[in-house]
Amino acid sequence: MKTAIQSLMLIIAVLLAQAPVLAADGNGFTKEDRELLRHLAIRTERLDATLSEFKDAVDKRFEQTDKSLSDFKDSVDMRFEQVDKRLSDFKDSVDMRFEQVDKRLEQVDKRLEFMQDLMIAMLAVFGSLCGVFVGLLLWDRKTFMERAKEAAMRELETKWKINEWLGALRTYSEKKPDLAEILRRHNLL
C-alpha cells in the first residue's frame, strides 16, 4: 500500500520536473499547469480512495480467511477430540474385554486344577483299593492254604491213618535195613 502511494508521488514529481518553464504571471505556473495539477490531485485522491477501499477489502478478506481458518482449526480440533474420545472408549472397551477373558481363563484354570485334583484323588483311591484287594487276596490265600493244609492233614490222619502207616513203616524198617535207607533218603525217619 505504501509502495503504491510512493510510486504515485514519484510520478507527480517527474511530471512537475518536466513541466514547461515557469510562466510569466509571476508565480511560475501556467493555467494549463494548474489544471494539470488539479487534475493530478483529483486523480491522486481517487487513487487514495480506491487504494483505501482495496486495503479495507483485503483486510476484510484476510479477517474472513483468518476467521475461516480459525473455524477450520476449531473444527479439526473438535474432530481430533472426538477421534481421541472414540479411541479412548475403544481402548477401555478392549481393556474390559481382556479383563473378562482373563477372569474367564482364571475360572477355567481353577476348574482344570479342581479336575486334576479330583483325578489324582480318584487314582489314589483306585490304587489303594487295588492294594487292599491284592493284600486281601494274599492274606486270604495264605489263610486258605493253611486251612487247606490242616484239613488235608486231618483227612489223611483220620481217613487214611497216615501217621499209623508211617509208624508201622518205621517199626518195620528196624528189621529191614533197605527200607530204613529209603525212609532216611525221604526224611521220613
| 83-139 confidence digits (pLDDT tens) | 999 999 999 999 999 999 999 999 999 999 999 999 999 999 999 999 999 988 888
My answer on whether 86 and 121 are in the same domain is yes
* pLDDT-based confidence at residue 18 (cuts at 50, 70, 90): low
Q: Which domain holds residue 165?
A: 150-185
My answer on whether 26 and 98 are in the same domain is yes
My answer on whether 87 and 154 are in the same domain is no
My answer on whether 136 and 156 are in the same domain is no
My answer on whether 93 and 138 are in the same domain is yes
My answer on whether 26 and 52 are in the same domain is yes
For the chain, the farthest-separated pair of C-alpha atoms sits apart, in whole angstroms, at: 206
The conformation of residue 25, written as its DSSP 8-state character, comes to: T
C-alpha distances out from residue 150 to 72, 77, 158, 164, 187, Å: 114, 107, 12, 18, 20
My answer on whether 142 and 154 are in the same domain is no
My answer on whether 81 and 123 are in the same domain is yes
**Can you give the pTM of this predicted structure?**
0.38
Let me know: does 29 contact 37? Beta carbons within 8 Å: yes
Residue 47 has a CB neighbour count (10 Å cut-off) of: 14
Split into its structural domains, the chain has a count of: 2
